[in-house]
Amino acid sequence: MAAHTQFSGGFQNAPVDAAHAFRAAMTVMARPGEIRSVSGCQPPAPLSVAAGVLLMTLCDPDTKVHLAGATNADAVRQWLTFHTGAPLTDATEADFAVGTWQALGPLNQYRVGTPEYPDRSATLIVECDDLQQTGPKLTGPGIKGTAHLSLPDVRALQTNASLYPLGCDFFFTCGDTLAALPRSTQIKDRG
């Protein structure tokens, strides 16, 4: 790549790259605690590769995206609009939200769905400095026995899980690695 211009860094082979990324996203969401690496696009800073790949794969003109904190930069907005056409919105209406844990909070401003339509909730893409299979203990659907995942804030995520079947779902991204925490997972601080 000669120069990184405002629109470059998208999927080179969109159908195949997006299918691989979608499979990775589904796998980590189905098996909380599992970490997968994804590739295929080079988003502008400060988005991580994994967050960029997720946005490219999951967003389209029908999904409202909230860019929290430092991710709400001109370069990111232009890149996202060019590649996905997703409308940008504030936290209360977002289908997807991207940012660091500090920038995204507080959690109670995001949509959690309604009892009739629990799917009308937000999915948060949390940019982490570190992503490890250590830390709080996870149990629940998709986990054989127990799993561990480094989570940013156990208390807030426990509160979110207690809303089940409502609540938000989370992707955690760090560099090109990806993990997820659906609302159905029970979290225990190992303490």
Partner 1 sequence: MTDQTNIAVAKRQEWMGLLARAPEDALMPLWDEMNTSPGFEWLRRPEVGGVMVRGRIGGSGAPFNLGEMTVTRCSLVLGDGTVGHGHVQGRSKRKAEAAALIDALMQTKAAGAIRARVLNPLAQQMQATKTARAAKAAATKVEFFTLVRGED
Q: How far apart are the first and last CA of the chain?
A: 47
Residue 12 binds partner 1 (CB under 8 A): yes
Nearer to partner 1, 14 or 166 (CB): 14
Q: 61 or 141, CB closer to partner 1?
A: 61
To partner 1, the closest distance from the beta carbon of 7 in angstroms equals 5
Residue 4's alpha-carbon distances to 10, 50, 127, 159, in angstroms, are 11, 18, 22, 42
Q: Based on the shown chain and the rule CB under 8 A, indicate whether residue 2 belongs to the binding site for partner 1.
A: yes
DSSP state at residue 147:
E
* Choices 12-20, 50-58, 89-97, 144-152 (CB under 8 A): range interacting with partner 1: 12-20
Contacts with partner 1 in 56-95 (CB under 8 A)? 82-83
Q: What is the DSSP string of 75-113?
A: HHHHHHHHHH-PPB--GGG-SEEEEEHHHH--GGGS-B-
Q: Which residues bind partner 1 (CB under 8 A)?
A: 1-3, 5-8, 10, 12-14, 82-83
